[in-house]
Amino acid sequence: MLNQIISSFVSIAITLSVTACTTNQEISKPDISIETENINDDIMQTIEIIINDKVFTAEIYDNETARSFISMLPITLDMQDLNNNEKYCYLSNNLATNTFYPEQIHAGDIMLYNSNCLVLFYKSFSTSYGYTAIGKIDDITGLKQAVGNGNIQITFDLK
Protein backbone atom coordinates (compact mmCIF):
# COMPACT_ATOMS: atom_id res chain seq x y z
CA MET A 1 0.00 0.00 0.00
CA LEU A 2 2.80 2.39 0.92
CA ASN A 3 4.55 1.56 -2.37
CA GLN A 4 1.37 2.44 -4.30
CA ILE A 5 1.09 5.80 -2.51
CA ILE A 6 4.74 6.63 -3.17
CA SER A 7 4.42 5.48 -6.78
CA SER A 8 1.28 7.60 -7.26
CA PHE A 9 2.97 10.61 -5.66
CA VAL A 10 6.05 10.24 -7.92
CA SER A 11 3.82 9.91 -11.01
CA ILE A 12 1.89 13.06 -10.09
CA ALA A 13 5.12 14.96 -9.38
CA ILE A 14 6.63 13.95 -12.73
CA THR A 15 3.44 14.87 -14.59
CA LEU A 16 3.31 18.29 -12.91
CA SER A 17 6.98 19.00 -13.56
CA VAL A 18 6.70 18.04 -17.23
CA THR A 19 3.59 20.13 -17.81
CA ALA A 20 5.09 23.06 -15.93
CA CYS A 21 8.03 23.08 -18.34
CA THR A 22 5.94 23.03 -21.49
CA THR A 23 4.19 25.94 -23.11
CA ASN A 24 1.70 26.46 -25.86
CA GLN A 25 3.64 29.49 -26.98
CA GLU A 26 6.08 29.16 -29.81
CA ILE A 27 9.61 29.60 -28.62
CA SER A 28 11.25 32.23 -30.73
CA LYS A 29 14.92 32.39 -31.41
CA PRO A 30 16.56 35.72 -30.70
CA ASP A 31 16.81 37.92 -33.75
CA ILE A 32 20.52 38.06 -34.35
CA SER A 33 21.32 40.10 -37.37
CA ILE A 34 24.83 40.93 -38.34
CA GLU A 35 24.96 44.14 -40.25
CA THR A 36 27.02 43.69 -43.33
CA GLU A 37 26.26 47.18 -44.56
CA ASN A 38 29.91 48.05 -44.64
CA ILE A 39 31.03 45.03 -46.64
CA ASN A 40 28.51 45.67 -49.43
CA ASP A 41 28.92 49.41 -49.55
CA ASP A 42 29.45 51.28 -52.74
CA ILE A 43 33.03 52.05 -53.57
CA MET A 44 33.95 55.49 -52.30
CA GLN A 45 37.47 55.93 -53.56
CA THR A 46 40.45 54.13 -55.01
CA ILE A 47 43.79 54.22 -53.22
CA GLU A 48 47.27 52.88 -53.79
CA ILE A 49 49.02 50.49 -51.46
CA ILE A 50 52.77 50.59 -51.95
CA ILE A 51 54.82 47.64 -50.72
CA ASN A 52 58.50 48.03 -51.57
CA ASP A 53 58.34 48.96 -55.26
CA LYS A 54 55.08 47.15 -55.99
CA VAL A 55 51.89 49.23 -56.25
CA PHE A 56 48.48 47.69 -55.60
CA THR A 57 45.18 49.44 -56.26
CA ALA A 58 42.46 49.10 -53.64
CA GLU A 59 38.80 50.04 -53.60
CA ILE A 60 37.76 51.73 -50.38
CA TYR A 61 34.16 51.30 -49.24
CA ASP A 62 31.83 54.20 -48.55
CA ASN A 63 31.38 53.94 -44.79
CA GLU A 64 32.34 55.98 -41.75
CA THR A 65 35.38 53.87 -40.92
CA ALA A 66 36.74 54.09 -44.45
CA ARG A 67 36.18 57.86 -44.56
CA SER A 68 38.15 58.24 -41.33
CA PHE A 69 40.93 56.07 -42.74
CA ILE A 70 41.02 58.08 -46.00
CA SER A 71 41.43 61.29 -43.97
CA MET A 72 44.70 59.87 -42.55
CA LEU A 73 46.28 59.36 -45.99
CA PRO A 74 49.01 59.38 -47.09
CA ILE A 75 50.38 57.21 -44.31
CA THR A 76 53.28 54.77 -44.07
CA LEU A 77 52.88 52.10 -41.43
CA ASP A 78 55.26 49.58 -39.90
CA MET A 79 53.11 46.49 -40.17
CA GLN A 80 53.77 43.27 -38.30
CA ASP A 81 53.08 39.78 -39.57
CA LEU A 82 50.57 37.56 -37.78
CA ASN A 83 49.86 33.89 -38.49
CA ASN A 84 51.46 34.05 -41.93
CA ASN A 85 48.22 35.45 -43.35
CA GLU A 86 48.01 39.12 -42.38
CA LYS A 87 49.94 42.31 -41.73
CA TYR A 88 48.65 44.56 -38.98
CA CYS A 89 49.41 47.86 -37.30
CA TYR A 90 47.83 49.63 -34.36
CA LEU A 91 46.80 53.13 -35.39
CA SER A 92 47.30 56.11 -33.10
CA ASN A 93 43.60 57.02 -33.38
CA ASN A 94 40.47 54.99 -32.82
CA LEU A 95 38.15 54.78 -35.81
CA ALA A 96 34.40 54.24 -35.84
CA THR A 97 33.43 50.60 -36.10
CA ASN A 98 30.62 48.57 -37.58
CA THR A 99 31.76 45.10 -36.64
CA PHE A 100 30.59 42.08 -38.57
CA TYR A 101 31.70 38.44 -38.55
CA PRO A 102 32.67 37.51 -42.11
CA GLU A 103 33.40 33.78 -41.52
CA GLN A 104 35.73 33.94 -44.54
CA ILE A 105 38.62 36.35 -45.02
CA HIS A 106 39.85 36.91 -48.57
CA ALA A 107 43.37 37.82 -49.58
CA GLY A 108 43.39 41.55 -50.28
CA ASP A 109 40.78 42.45 -47.65
CA ILE A 110 41.55 45.62 -45.70
CA MET A 111 39.82 45.58 -42.33
CA LEU A 112 39.82 47.17 -38.93
CA TYR A 113 40.06 44.91 -35.90
CA ASN A 114 38.58 46.48 -32.78
CA SER A 115 38.76 50.24 -33.23
CA ASN A 116 42.42 50.86 -34.00
CA CYS A 117 44.10 47.85 -35.60
CA LEU A 118 44.44 48.10 -39.37
CA VAL A 119 44.78 44.69 -41.01
CA LEU A 120 45.80 43.82 -44.56
CA PHE A 121 45.16 40.15 -45.32
CA TYR A 122 47.36 38.40 -47.86
CA LYS A 123 45.93 34.89 -47.54
CA SER A 124 42.34 33.64 -47.52
CA PHE A 125 41.09 31.67 -44.51
CA SER A 126 38.09 31.01 -42.27
CA THR A 127 37.65 33.12 -39.15
CA SER A 128 35.35 33.65 -36.19
CA TYR A 129 36.72 37.12 -35.44
CA GLY A 130 34.83 40.35 -35.99
CA TYR A 131 36.06 43.17 -38.22
CA THR A 132 34.95 46.41 -39.80
CA ALA A 133 35.44 46.40 -43.57
CA ILE A 134 37.47 49.24 -45.07
CA GLY A 135 38.19 48.02 -48.59
CA LYS A 136 39.88 45.44 -50.77
CA ILE A 137 42.78 45.18 -53.17
CA ASP A 138 41.58 44.85 -56.76
CA ASP A 139 44.23 42.44 -58.03
CA ILE A 140 46.15 40.41 -55.43
CA THR A 141 48.63 38.96 -57.92
CA GLY A 142 52.03 39.16 -56.24
CA LEU A 143 50.66 40.39 -52.90
CA LYS A 144 51.94 37.46 -50.85
CA GLN A 145 55.40 37.75 -52.37
CA ALA A 146 55.45 41.54 -51.88
CA VAL A 147 54.65 41.40 -48.16
CA GLY A 148 57.09 38.57 -47.48
CA ASN A 149 57.42 36.77 -44.17
CA GLY A 150 58.36 39.42 -41.65
CA ASN A 151 57.46 42.92 -40.64
CA ILE A 152 57.27 45.48 -43.43
CA GLN A 153 56.55 49.13 -44.19
CA ILE A 154 53.42 49.67 -46.23
CA THR A 155 52.29 53.02 -47.62
CA PHE A 156 48.62 53.81 -48.17
CA ASP A 157 48.05 56.83 -50.44
CA LEU A 158 45.32 58.53 -52.42
CA LYS A 159 45.32 57.72 -56.10
Model's pTM, two decimal places? Answer: 0.74
Q: How far apart are CA 3 and CA 9, in angstroms?
A: 10
Q: How far apart are CA 114 and CA 98, in angstroms?
A: 10
Domain boundary assignment for the chain: 43-158
Q: What is the pLDDT of residues 42-59, one digit of tens each?
A: 778 999 999 999 999 999
How distant is the alpha carbon of residue 52 from its chain centre? 27
- The one-letter amino acid at 45: Q
Strand partners, 82: 86
16-37 as b/e, with b when 16 or more CB fall inside 10 Å? eeeeeeeeeeeeeeeeeeeeee
Whether the link from the prior residue into 102 is cis, omega within 30° of 0, is no
Q: What is the pLDDT of residues 46-101, one digit of tens each?
A: 999 999 999 999 999 999 999 999 999 999 999 999 999 999 999 999 999 999 99
120 vs 23 pLDDT, higher one: 120
Instruction: Decide: helix, strand or coil at residue 143.
Output: helix
Arch. (CATH architecture) of 43-158: Beta Barrel (2.40)
Question: What local confidence, expressed as pLDDT, does residue 44 receive?
Answer: 84
Q: CA separation (Å) from 97 to 51, 65, 143?
A: 26, 6, 26
52-84 as b/e, with b when 16 or more CB fall inside 10 Å? eeeebebbbbebebbbbbbeeeeeebebebeee
Q: What is the DSSP letter of 73?
A: -
* Strand duo 132-137 + 54-61: pairing: antiparallel
